[in-house]
């Protein structure tokens, strides 16, 4: 069995990557499609997004908030819902919990 991989965000830490996945998946499932995420949850999502290798693109003009919606049509439907970044310029872009939690070279 592999060694547990600790995930540390600026807002909280998880002993195992699976614990982080469970935390953010539960958060995702608390909302209905089209709901805007609460300010408290948005703080954790911002911290999670910092782990994304394309964070500059995702948060390009600044983050105004987050919402839950369906995945883009060009993305394989691994799930029926995902988080979306609402940028300050009004544009939106999706991001994956799993992508943010994948191992990084410096972890």
What pLDDT score was predicted for residue 48?
98
Contact by Cβ (8 Å): 15, 4: yes
pLDDT digits (tens, 9 = 90+) for 34-58: 999 999 999 999 999 999 999 999 9
DSSP track, 4-40: P--EE-SS-EESSHHHHHHHHHHHHHTS-TTPBPPHH
Between 61-65, 73-77, 84-88, 91-95, the lowest mean confidence (pLDDT) is in 73-77
* Residue (of 48, 54, 56) closest to 21 by Cα position: 48
Residue partners of 103: CB distance under 8 A and separation at least 6: 5, 17
Q: Which CATH class is domain 35-101?
A: alpha beta
What is this structure's pTM? 0.90
């Amino acid at each position: 069995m592999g060694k547990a991989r600790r995930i540390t965000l600026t807002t909280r830490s998880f002993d195992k990557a699976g614990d982080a996945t469970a935390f953010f998946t539960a958060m995702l499932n608390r909302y209905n499609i089209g709901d805007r995420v609460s300010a408290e949850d948005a703080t954790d999502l911002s911290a999670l997004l910092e782990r994304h290798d394309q964070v500059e693109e995702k948060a390009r003009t600044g983050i105004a908030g987050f919402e839950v919606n369906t995945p883009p049509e060009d993305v394989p439907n691994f799930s029926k819902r995902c988080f979306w970044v609402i940028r300050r310029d009004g544009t939106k872009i999706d991001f994956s919990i799993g992508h943010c939690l994948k191992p990084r070279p410096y972890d």
